[in-house]
Amino acid sequence: MMRRRAFITLLGGAAAWPLTARAQQPGKLPTIGILGGATAATWSTFLPALTHRLAELGWIEGRTITIEYRWAGGSLERAAEQTAEFVRLKVDVIVTAGGVLASVKRGTSTIPIVFAVATDPVGSGFAGSLARPGGNLTGLSLQTTDHAAKRVELLRGLIPTARNVAILANSNNPGVVLEMREAETAIRALGLEPRPHDIRRAEDIALAFEAMKGRADALYVCSDVLVNVHRVRISTLALGARLPTIYSVREYVEAGGLMSYGANLADLFQRAAGYVDKILHGAKPAELPIEQPTKFELVVNLTTAKTIGLTIPPDFLALADEVIE
């Protein structure tokens, strides 16, 4: 009886395996191409959320799926080359994010693309609407532009004497341009002066900080693949300039930034696995609605505050979801 029950249990477990994987065994496994715009190190804080959730859904690397990893290192040209490689490999789905999404989109109109994060996919022209994205792309929107004003308010609340707010932004990224405009509008609405600094290459970062000297009381950084790759450098330069800085994701604060307000990236990458699962079971990206963040967090780095000589009031700290000391 025990053996029979064990056998039935085994069959029940097998029934839960992804249908696509079982249909293709023992032949070629479905292949997921993961294209990170930055580096493996910068993705290490949230990529495990994706692969862990995939495993929970039955997509286990080396057993029911193959995963091909590529890292563009902040280069749009390299991202385009890696997309072309995925096309040659005939991967079943590409998972990517934000800054290189335009390069990936240009590289294929047939392979399904899931973006784990995108600043504003509709405003950037990647999707027709959140409800019906159309084309071969879908995923999760950061809606960063919607919360630009909130970040500006937090920065002003912490630095009430600020008059000039610098903005660091890569204008090569259409989503970043939208966020920058929203930030400028919010800064002016508070009676402050926005001072945008365009960075399109790594070499532009130091030049931007040099231009900020004596002209900025605080800094708003627009998230982007270029900024992500060089986040430690940007945080170090901001510390050296004693500039209170706000970002949109916690990873920048963990790298030494002062504070961040925005969506939890690990949560979005975990939810992206659901899109991959549906697509591997036959769903079309055009018919899978783009979802928005449900978890937002304010993270403050007290060590950084002390380094730049900034005292953070207790009532402000009480708003924080996490304080790094």
Burial 56-84 (b: 16+ CB within 10 A, else e): ebbbbeeebbbbeebbbebbbebbbebbe
* pLDDT at res. 280: 98
Tell me if residue 53 falls in helix, strand or coil. helix
* pLDDT at res. 144: 76
> Where in the chain does DSSP place strands (E)?
31-36, 66-71, 93-96, 113-118, 137-141, 164-169, 193-198, 218-221, 245-247, 259-263, 296-301, 322-324
* pLDDT at res. 124: 81
In the chain, the domains with their CATH numbers are 18-143+265-295 (3.40.50.2300), 145-262+297-324 (3.40.50.2300)
Prediction pTM value: 0.81
How many Cα atoms within 13 Å fall on the side-chain side of residue 309?
4
Question: At residue 243, what is the residue type?
Answer: L
Contact 83, 136 (CB under 8 A): no
DSSP state of 289: P
End-to-end CA distance of the chain: give it in Å, rounded.
Answer: 58
* pLDDT at res. 27: 61
Cα angle: 5, vertex 11, 14; to 5 degrees: 145
Residues with pLDDT less than 70, the chain: 1-27
Tell me if residue 18 falls in helix, strand or coil. coil
DSSP state of 245: E
* pLDDT at res. 74: 85
* pLDDT at res. 108: 96
Transcribe 157-208 into DSSP letters: HH-TT--EEEEEE-TTSHHHHHHHHHHHHHHHHTT-EEEEEE--STHHHHHH
Of 287, 285, 283, nearest to 109 by C-alpha is: 285
